[in-house]
Amino acid sequence: MQELKSVRDETTDMAEEAASTTQRNESATPRLPAPAAPAAEPAAPLADINAPELYIHRELSQLQFNIRVLEQALDESYPLLERLKFLLIFSSNIDEFFEIRVAGLKKQITFAREQTGPDGLQPQQVLAKISEIAHQQISRQYALLNDMLLPQLAEKGIRFVRRHQWTHKQTLWIRRYFRQEVAPIISPIGLDPTHPFPLLVNKSLNFIVQLEGIDAFGRDSGLAIIPAPRSLPRLIRMPDELCAGGDNFVFLSSMIHAHADDLFPGMKVMGCYQFRLTRNADLIVDPDEVDDLARALRGELLSRRYGDAVRLEVADNCPKPLTDFLLKQFGLSESELYEVNGPVNLTRLFSITALDNHPDLQFPPFSPGIPKLLSNNDTLFQAIGKQDILLQHPYESFSPVVDLLRQAAQDPNVLAIKQTLYRTGANSEIVNALVDAARNGKEVTVVIELRARFDEESNLQLASRLQQAGAVVIYGVVGFKTHAKMMLILRREDKVLRRYVHMGTGNYHAGNARLYTDYSILSSDLALTEDVHKLFNQLIGMGKTLRMKKLLQAPFTLKKRLLELINRETMNAQAGKPAHIMAKANALTDAKIIKALYKASQCGVKIDLIIRGMCCLRPGVPGVSHNITVRSIIGRFLEHSRVYYFLNDGQEQVWMSSADMMERNLDKRVETCFPLEGKKLITRAKQELQVFMTDNTQSWILQTDGTYVRSSPTGNQLARSAQSTLLEKLASSPQRAVNV
């Protein structure tokens, strides 16, 4: 799953301020009260906003996000298979957390390059906290799976049949399946001086086997490794005629356990235990040191499978001498060992969550809405030429973005198309349209970010495909990832060249557009389209930074302007004017932004933050962040949009961006941030932000101590889900996101 794999990249009494935010108007259309009058300034001197205790460590905050994802599996308002999906997303997120975050901390220690952030914690301290929290939560995960979800799934006819439950007929079928489909592919490895411990692939399923006896060559090492081939399914559905109804599955690991003796003829298997090793999966490519980034990445992709070890998972019945042996082999400590009560590779269960014959156990389908303006014109160019069009996915369809590109590919009046691609997939509709455009003689230029984590291989494939079609492919800028989402179409109309643009907060991935919440804008505004044209020229050619009229861009103007906008609200509050900031993003880690928000809070600015994942700001600190609330929305869709609202003394402004409030986005990436213009669009965006402020079912409130508390209706409050509200408002066939 894209980015859900990483959808993938998560408790204390609620503070009074946090509690008050969940007890607002009960009207059918949620509305917030007007911004409160500025709080009185604390007595001078103001508290020190540089104090380490005011900052939460980013990796610990990311871990808290994953805990919030796991908590969704407990929510009985979700359909059962969706609860299982949340548990599996937790597994996927934790895998990536260890592959990237934990691996990065370990690397700092190994190379004596320890770095401390504003929170002041050393990598060793953070790793110790991570180990404590991760052990606890992974144990919770398996208890939840074994004691709650699997029994409830069995009641609904979805069963994972364990070895002690196999009937005689099932046993015979499984034996035949193992001998015909599994055994011929497996290559067991006996350990001795000529057969050293094998180099195991990252996150692969393996078994360590205790043997007794002497083989044909007189060897008696007593140990062997069985790597489970990655080509084999981890779940095998048994034939219906062998089962008493429903869907019945057997784990590949159970098959291997039951028939390990077959793999070592003449030897006695004393024990067989599954394990999995997680390795550092971050690619190390220094663009300054390579002549061809694509070729260098192809070489690095193989090394990702064999990076340094960071975690060992083993079956909890594995004897200690064997776990000690494995830890020694991988150079890991006891704190990096995770003993689990179940399959070590839970993410392979994702296929179960999409069973076609159990629609009642899944979210109901919905049809994304399409604005009337887009359906009442002959072409999308006509509609966009009349006014800017704002779309919020997945509630509103992503198809107009794809259709615009398709029309451009076939339109004889379209001369050129330029586009950035970060995550999309080599065979996506977007890429198909770009290929068609190039073959139809359009000037097609695509800026592909090859280093989009875990999408490098896919991006290399689509780059090759576009080049073969005749498109010009650029790999961005050395040292800066191109994370901006923008498309530019140049069209001749009545002997005049006119530009059309699409800009968004999310990727050009149609699948993600059904799972992630993001905004798109379609525009032919002269100044905005000229800015996009200039930015493409900066990316493709060379030259000084070009001055933009409307567009903000990282790494040049975006961070500076955000700080100015925050400071403007601060000055308004100091002048006794109402001041209000609302911001929605995936993460908030940039120290300068946090300090500016602290100062604004101290001066009386009301600040409402909706931060899905990492948040290093600590709200509710008296005299510092007492005017700041932070909430995280976790639900059916992955909250992904970045929106920034400023009251601006009544002249409201809304900006939308591809960038989060993180150092990497603001300082080290090519990002865009575009303004909404016109009262109608600004009011819409503001109201949609306010919907999240009244959510009391999927909203988690960040506490001063760094934990999160889930909101819930109190008294006679109506239950509200922001995602459900937006589905009902914007989708063509509204369905509630959760049963609340």
Catalytic site positions: 483
Burial of 140 (0-12, 13-18, 19+ CB in 10 A): middle
Helices (H) and strands (E) in the chain, counts: 22, 27
Q: How far is residue 540's CA from residue 533's CA, in Å, rounded to a whole number?
A: 11
- For residues 124-137, one letter each, b for 16 or more C-beta atoms within 10 angstroms of the residue's C-beta and e for the rest, the string is eebbeebbeebeeb
Report phi then psi at 448, rounded to 5.
-105, 125
| Residue 466 burial (10 A CB sphere; 0-12, 13-18, 19+) | buried
Give the whole-angstrom CA distance, residue 665 versus residue 516.
19
Burial of 155 (0-12, 13-18, 19+ CB in 10 A): exposed
Angle between helices 103-110 and 123-144 (to 10 degrees): 150
CA separation for the pair 127, 362 (Å, rounded)? 37
End-to-end Cα, the chain, rounded Å: 27
Phi, then psi, of 545 in degrees rounded to 5:
-60, 130
Bridge partner list, 588: 615, 661
Q: How far is CA 124 from CA 55, 115, 277, 305, 335, in A?
A: 18, 11, 21, 25, 12
Instruction: Name, in order, each residue with C-beta under 8 angstroms of 140's C-beta and a sequence gap of 6 or more.
Output: 70
- Residue 511 in contact with residue 2, Cβ under 8 Å? yes
CA distance 600 to 577: 13
- CA–CA dist 534, 536 (Å, integer): 5
Specify the residue for token string 């008296």.
622
The token pair at 20 is 């008050």
Give the C-alpha separation, 190 to 193, whole Å. Answer: 10
Q: What whole-number distance in Å separates Cα of residue 707 and Cα of residue 738?
A: 24
Give 101-105 contacts, CB < 8 A, sequence gap 24+.
101/59, 101/62, 102/59, 102/127, 102/130, 102/310, 102/311, 103/279, 103/280, 103/281, 103/282, 103/307, 103/308, 103/310, 104/282, 105/59, 105/130
